Structure 1
Amino acid sequence: MINFLNLEYFLVASEELNFTKAAKRLFISQQSLSSHISKLELDLNVTLFNRTSPLTLTPEGKSLAKNTIKILNLKKQSLKELSDIKDFKRGDLYIGISPTRGLSFLPEILPDYSEKFPNIHLHLFEGNSKELDLALLNGDVDLIVAMLPFHVENVETIPLCNEEVLMIVPDSILVKYFPNNYDKVKAQLEKDVDLALLKDCPFLMFNTRHMVRLIADEMFSKKQIKPNIILETDSIETALALSVKGMGITFYPKTLMSNKNLVFDKDSFASTNIYHMRYNKTHRTLAIGYQKNRYISQAVKEFIKLAKEKYENLIQ
């Protein structure tokens, strides 16, 4: 019978390809690690490592390393399922979400969830869309909350609400850049946003990893415009706050505009124009995603149920 501990130690050794480093990573002695590897080789009747310098995997070792990841993941999933069946009083929930979306979404969901299930230990993974997709693929999270589409195979999606990327234009920018035809330009933008009209205006943009930035870049590219970007930031809240103060034009998701945790009050928008755009990628869907081929715990099911109920109320 294969010992799971031997497999776990083998996997670390296969990653390090150095018994000294692997033993240090595992907080055991090199002699103990060698003993576990030798026992595994004996159980399987194969040689897993070429004891050369540097250490290398044999063909059998390469095959086992690939399958060990699957075996240990299946073990983890099985134990989770058994624990869930036995007792839903304790457990873990791993949620993947962007920092910006988390600021708006999580305060609406987690306080009620924690009150209802106080012994479920919550874990947050924060990242951009690519990082969230990868975390879901690798099993680092149980679910992700993000904009569709998810770029991961075998993902079940639970739509929550429609999202729209808005363009935020300070009135002071229009006054400064269109002193002779301010009223005409403002009326035109309200009817149909033409980015070419604003090409000389200053823009406040998010970093290139952010989905809103990718959408904006695509819009500029289609119009063959090189925007006058005067500032880039990792925080879309910073971009919005600076835009509201009149520094430049920015883009912002509509559902986050009602965020109770914004650091400025809604009166700040009195001198700001908020425009809808007729670009199809500015209209998207916020959803929860989880992998179909993984066990879905009761903790995940209850989170999805609560999120659907909350968002039905929030968008009415």
Structure 2
Amino acid sequence: MLNNYKYFLVLAEELNISNAAKRLYISHQSLSKYLKGLEEKHGVAFFERKPKITLTSAGKIMQNTLRQIELLDQNMENQLIDLKEDKSGTIHFGITEGRYPIIVPKLLKEFYDLHPKVELIIHRRTSPQMQEMVLNNSLDLFLSGVDNIVTPLVKYETILHEQMYIVISDNLLKQYFPDQYPGCINTFADGADLRLFQHVPFVLNKKNFNSRILLDKHLSERGISLNCINELTQPDIHHLLCAEDYAASFCLTMYLRGIDGLNESGNTNSHLHVFPISDFAYFNPLALIYHRNKIFPSYTEDLKKIVKRYCSPASYLQQS
């Protein structure tokens, strides 16, 4: 059983023998025979067959146990890697879509220069998806906010407490604050009160994303209602829309560099202003997140150091 534990784990993920067999590069017959033998050995059914394949209580116990065995197997391999002179291997690293273009291009180059025989595979997923991938041992670690972390089985190293900022174009300031412009620029630089922006159109993140959760807390506590005209999950698209005077938006600390880049490009309809938000009491803890019991080879520790350096507060704030 232990030699083929991945058979069970893949079948538990797919809940379809044909699909699981394809992933495992074995025949449908071989996988069915494996499952039948496993159930006969233990005297229990691990899957309900009708009306569709689902895990039984015994199946869930087997799945959780085999995941622990898989983690131990990975930990053993990772420790043995460091005993070899010629280090090679694979890291599965996760990051959200919006943060991907900010650090991944430079990260890939620097890590490859340091460890040319280690394959760094990048997964772009949402935070809940990456958390589940860590728990099923298909992802080594990921970069994300921690508000959506819901299990004690993961551990995280906070590397940046991100602040929230409002992003608005110069043309929109002229349009919606005609009596205060341009003096409002200096006023908002000391802190923008969102009560004054309720008539301004906004593009916001989806409600289940970390930045939106923080923003909604602030708005709810102060009884503020913003004029949301669109919801999109890609922060870089938010800022491009801001630069075309479509709407105002928000950003977290890591995205300040991208806004600076838009302003420097000269290819936008209007200059973007970034203002801190008055009395905004929340931070977004950005962290490296991984399984609490995971043991990494030394090259993964090197990757963590590079990510931490790219995400250090000085890396962003000195350019804002």
TM range (shorter): 0.7 to 0.9
1:186 Cα offset (Å):
4.6
1:203 Cα offset (Å):
0.8
What percentage of aligned pairs have identical amino acids?
Answer: 24
Q: 1:73 aligns with which of 71, 74, 97?
A: 71
| Partner in structure 2 of residue 192 of structure 1 | 191
Residue 47 of structure 1 pairs with residue 46 of structure 2? no
Structure 1 residue runs of 5 or longer lacking an equivalent are none
CA contact (8 A) 1:84 1:91 kept: no
| Partner in structure 2 of residue 293 of structure 1 | 293
| Partner in structure 2 of residue 226 of structure 1 | 225
CA contact (8 A) 1:92 1:299 kept: no
| Farther-moved stretch of structure 1 (292-301 vs 169-178) | 169-178
CA contact (8 A) 1:96 1:135 kept: no
Residues 30, 262 of structure 1: alpha-carbon distance in 2 compared, 3 angstrom cutoff? same
| Partner in structure 2 of residue 242 of structure 1 | 241
Residue 175 of structure 1 pairs with residue 174 of structure 2? yes
Residues 182, 110 of structure 1: alpha-carbon distance in 2 compared, 3 angstrom cutoff? same
Residue 303 of structure 1 pairs with residue 299 of structure 2? no
Residues 134, 280 of structure 1: alpha-carbon distance in 2 compared, 3 angstrom cutoff? farther
CA contact (8 A) 1:98 1:146 kept: yes
CA contact (8 A) 1:167 1:249 kept: yes
CA contact (8 A) 2:166 2:251 kept: yes
Give deviations 1:114-163, integer Å, cap 9, x for gaps.
01111111111112333333333333221112234562425444343442
What secondary structure sits across from 2:254 in the alignment?
Answer: helix
Give deviations 1:179-225, integer Å, cap 9, x for gaps.
33445655543343221111111112223343222222222222323
CA contact (8 A) 2:199 2:227 kept: yes
**TM-score normalized with structure 2 length:** 0.79
| Partner in structure 1 of residue 137 of structure 2 | 139
Structure 2 Cα separation of the partners of residues 296 and 51 of structure 1: 33
Structure 2 Cα separation of the partners of residues 30 and 270 of structure 1: 60
Residues 244, 121 of structure 1: alpha-carbon distance in 2 compared, 3 angstrom cutoff? same
Structure 2 residue runs of 5 or longer lacking an equivalent are none
Structure 2 Cα separation of the partners of residues 311 and 264 of structure 1: 21
CA contact (8 A) 2:169 2:243 kept: yes
1:303 Cα offset (Å):
0.8
| Farther-moved stretch of structure 1 (19-28 vs 196-205) | 19-28
- Map of 1:9-88 to 2, 5 A cutoff? 9-11=7-9, 26-37=24-35, 39-40=37-38, 44=41, 46-49=42-45, 54=50, 63-88=61-86
Give deviations 1:96-116, integer Å, cap 9, x for gaps.
111221211223322111011
Structure 2 Cα separation of the partners of residues 260 and 52 of structure 1: 53
Structure 2 Cα separation of the partners of residues 97 and 150 of structure 1: 14
| Partner in structure 2 of residue 279 of structure 1 | 280
Residue 119 of structure 1 pairs with residue 117 of structure 2? yes
Residues 128, 64 of structure 1: alpha-carbon distance in 2 compared, 3 angstrom cutoff? closer
Give deviations 1:19-39, integer Å, cap 9, x for gaps.
667656655445433543455
**TM-score normalized with structure 1 length:** 0.80
CA contact (8 A) 1:88 1:298 kept: no
Work out which of the two has the higher radius of gyration on C-alpha atoms and give 1 or 2: 1
CA contact (8 A) 1:163 1:284 kept: yes
1:236 Cα offset (Å):
1.2
CA contact (8 A) 1:98 1:126 kept: yes
Give deviations 1:49-93, integer Å, cap 9, x for gaps.
399964888876664344233223333333343344335521011
